[in-house]
Amino acid sequence: MPPVPQAPATAHSRVLLRQIAGGLVTLAITLLGLLLVTFFIGRVVPIDPVLSIVGERATAAQYEAARQALGLDEPLWKQFAIYVFDAMQGDLGTSIRTGAPIAGEIARYFPATLELATLGTIIGVLVGVPAGVLAATRPGSIADQIVRLVGLMGYSMPVFWLGLIGLLVFYGHLGWVGGPGRLDPVYEMMLEFSMTQYTGAILIDTALNGAWDVFANALSHIILPAGLLGYVSMAYISRMTRSFMMNELGQEYITTARVKGMPEWRVIWVHAMKNVAVPLITVIALSYAYLLEGSVLTETIFAWPGLGSYITDALFTADMPAVLGGTIVVGVVFVTLNMLSDILYRLVDPRART
């Protein structure tokens, strides 16, 4: 009896699963390489972690006891194995500065960065994609020139300068937004003592608690730094959208659709955007990852208690375990987003699964 032919959908699903499995293996190898790099950075920097703990006046016996407690008397290969094993369990070590577990501190700081970067990315996508489409459909027009100029300014102007100008104008002179920090002090006390914190993202937690006055105050504080990051994201997304859309609008299937009398909005937003969305997924994911890892200056200017500020403060106090722990988290986020964008790319574009 001849074998039953395999359904194309089933074959494609198996190919996709194999590709996802291969991506997970690549992710594991990449993360192992990241751990290897951070481990050796921690061993070659000219900062003695033992001396940072016991102090310069410690005796030789105290110094040696602390060194053994940290496992620094073991061979390098064994130290690395312990380092990887602990990291896989979520143990990133102990902060020299505070004496608290680094994983717990990062879990407390990271939601602020996640909230800020997510809102910035949403702003960048909602403004950048339509702006890029507008510029692509009217090349050489006033609208195209404005979009390109605004994007160029977003690339060229230093983030810290834009942040300082924004604070001076919108907070100092006009009073339209809240100042540095995530909340005014009185609302911060309300959040800490009288509300349940579900996610660590203030906008979500205050909405779930029904504390709309605190929500409004948090929104007034986040709108300026999120708008700044959204502007930076929009500059990149609009430029790439314009490039992708102009390429698609020159294809034969677009000409055929127009000759058939299809409405222009449908040609652009249905047919052309369907193909533009494929590479645009990767662009948006990389932009999001950049905002998550590269918002150090923004968090510093706006006194935003996020992961960037945490790593910066740890660096200034020579708290290398905290610096490396934060670096590992940033690397994991970047690699994971990259992998997710690749999976979405394959789900959206069937050609990538062949």
Picking from 309, 324, 317, the residue whose alpha carbon sits closest to that of residue 97 is 317
Q: Residue type for 278, please?
A: V
In the chain the first and final C-alpha atoms are separated, in Å, by: 29
Q: Are residues 130 and 72 in the same domain?
A: no
Sign of the C-alpha dihedral, residues 199, 203, 209, 213? positive
97 lies in some domain: no
Q: Is 262 helix (H, G, I), strand (E, B) or coil?
A: coil
pTM of the model: 0.80
Q: What is the pLDDT of residue 130?
A: 93
- Does residue 267 contact residue 258 with C-beta atoms inside 8 Å? yes
Q: Are residues 203 and 292 in the same domain?
A: yes
Q: Are residues 30 and 176 in the same domain?
A: no
103 lies in some domain: no
Averaged over 2-30, what is the pLDDT?
Answer: 64
Q: What is the pLDDT of residue 131?
A: 92
State yes or no: pLDDT of 218 exceeds 60.
yes
Q: What is the pLDDT of residue 4?
A: 45
Q: What is the 3-state secondary structure (H, E, C) of 5-61?
A: CCCHHHHHHHHHHHHHHHHHHHHHHHHHHHHHHHHHHHHHCCCCHHHHHHCCCCCHH
Examine the fold and report which residue of 88, 121, 141 is the final residue of a domain before the chain moves on: 88
Picking from 222, 211, 212, the residue whose alpha carbon sits closest to that of residue 183 is 222
State yes or no: pLDDT of 5 exceeds 60.
no
Q: Residue type for 236, please?
A: Y
**CATH number for position 188:** 1.10.3720.10
- Does residue 328 contact residue 320 with C-beta atoms inside 8 Å? no
In the chain, what is the greatest distance between 2 CA atoms, to the nearest angstrom?
87
User: Which residues, 6+ apart, have CB-to-CB distance to 113 below 8 Å?
Assistant: 292, 295, 299, 304, 306, 307, 308
Q: Per residue in 126-185, pLDDT tens?
A: 999 999 999 988 888 898 899 889 888 887 888 878 888 888 888 888 888 888 888 888
How many domains does the chain fold into? 2
Q: Are residues 313 and 225 in the same domain?
A: yes
Q: Per residue in 57-107, pLDDT tens?
A: 767 777 677 777 666 667 777 777 877 887 787 778 788 777 788 888 888
Q: Are residues 68 and 121 in the same domain?
A: no
Q: Are residues 82 and 225 in the same domain?
A: no
Q: Are residues 116 and 191 in the same domain?
A: yes
Q: Mean pLDDT over all residues of the chain?
A: 80
Cα 225 to Cα 214: distance, rounded to the nearest angstrom? 18
233 lies in some domain: yes
Which residue(s) pair with 101 in the sheet?
A: 94
Domain that holds residue 304: 108-353
Examine the fold and report which residue of 57, 88, 119 is the final residue of a domain before the chain moves on: 88
Q: Are residues 334 and 201 in the same domain?
A: yes
